[in-house]
Structure 1
Amino acid sequence: MLASPYHYKAYIFLSFTNLSQSREYPFMKRFLSSIRTLALIGTLPLFLVACDSLNPRPTELPNDRWDKIDKQQTVFGEGGLTFGGKDQKRQGQGGTGIGVNAYLWRATLDTVSFMPLASADPFGGVILTDWHSASNTPNERFKLNIYILDQALRADAIRVAAFRQMKNTNNEWQAVEMDPKAVTDIENAILTKARQLRSESLTQ
């Protein structure tokens, strides 16, 4: 009966073991010791690879994903803290970072530029003029209080309160009723100017 290859391997292994235990073959001991050392060295890379596979390194993200993470982790979000950022484009605000519609604000200042200003608050949207008399009517004077009520450019975003005084026989200023149509004309003039400014900005 022929021996199988397994039997031959077992026989060779036992032979080497017996030879290594014999005092008559010291060189065989050294040979087997070298074989064991080489075997341990050979298994070391496999051990390191196995350990590395247990702790996989994080894969690098594409640049666009890194950019997305950086934007989301800012203190104030993707947009950050800005004055007059992307939201200014909504509803034709004009892009100046003020609290009201920029076109209405600029149009109001242009419309009443012939009158002296008492105060102007761009964040509250309030413009107050001082009394003004035309050179051809020195006994009559006007004052305007103008309120911008919205960031959108629309008709109901502007309100005008007009005041009129005339000198009486005692040369004293006396309040006189203001024509409502004159107030409407002032509001329409401001709206027309604001739409013109917006149209010019869109064509640039």
Structure 2
Amino acid sequence: MATTHVRQSLSFSTRFALLTPAMALLLGLTSCSGGDKASDLTAPRNQLIKEDRSATGGDDQLSGGVNAYLWRGALDTLSFMPISTADAVGGFILTDWYTPPATHGERFKITAYILDKRLRSDALRVSVFRQVYDAGQWTDVPPAANTSSDITSKILARARQLRADNGNNDN
């Protein structure tokens, strides 16, 4: 019985000895950081909370550095597909898998990247992913060669139409 008590005591003191330097380091780091910065660490960093994107819908540029016409044109063009993720600040749209009503056993996913503040064709990159259902599982297959360029053209046409509707205003 005395042996068990000694083992527990040693085990506790060993654990305490290991935790003490770690706690000292942690306390030292927090005391150096200052009171305001420590509370900033827990503050949310979501930029969408701070700014209402719909209020700047007519602007040429969103504050994140992407062209607003391309952004809106991409959202409008891809609206027939379920949107999985859309980030106006980062300038990308990721759709979820979509199966066209006329086809069964085939689905598509699209990723659109807006790369510039200017309304230009090279400011947009579209990737199309296609899968077919075969032998009980989805298999990746390449889409038709012109699919990505066709979608890119439709997004650009919609963006140009939006700019024209705004009086060709780029500012």
Does the CA-based 8 Å contact 1:93-1:152 persist in structure 2? no
1:176 correspondence with 2:128 = no
Normalising by structure 1, report the TM-score: 0.52
- Larger Cα-atom Rg: 1
What letter is aligned with 1:158? L
Once the two structures are superposed, the pairs formed by residues 67-82 of structure 1 within 5 Å of their partners are none
- Please give the residue correspondences for 1:129-148 in structure 2 after superposition, counting only pairs within 5 Å: 129-148=95-114
Matched residue pairs, number? Answer: 114
Q: Give the aligned CA root-mean-square deviation in angstroms.
A: 2.2
Match of 2:67 among 95, 98, 101: 101
Q: Which has the higher strand share?
A: 2
The 5-angstrom pairing of residues 154-173 of structure 1 reads 154-168=120-134, 170-173=135-138
1:197 aligns with 2:162: yes
Decide whether aligned partners of structure 1 residues 173 and 192 sit closer, same or farther in structure 2, where only a CA change above 3 A counts.
same
Report sequence identity in percent: 47
Q: Which runs of 4+ in 1 moved over 4 A?
A: none
For 1:114 and 1:140, the matched residues in 2 are separated by 16
What aligned pairs does 1:18-167 form with structure 2 within 5 A after superposition? 94-167=60-133
TM-score, normalised with respect to structure 2: 0.62
Q: What stretches of structure 2 of length at least 5 have no aligned partner?
A: 1-50
Q: Which runs of 5+ in 1 are unaligned?
A: 1-82
In 2, Cα distance between equivalents of 1:136 and 1:161: 22
- Does the aligned pair in 2 maintain the 1:142–1:163 contact within 8 Å? yes
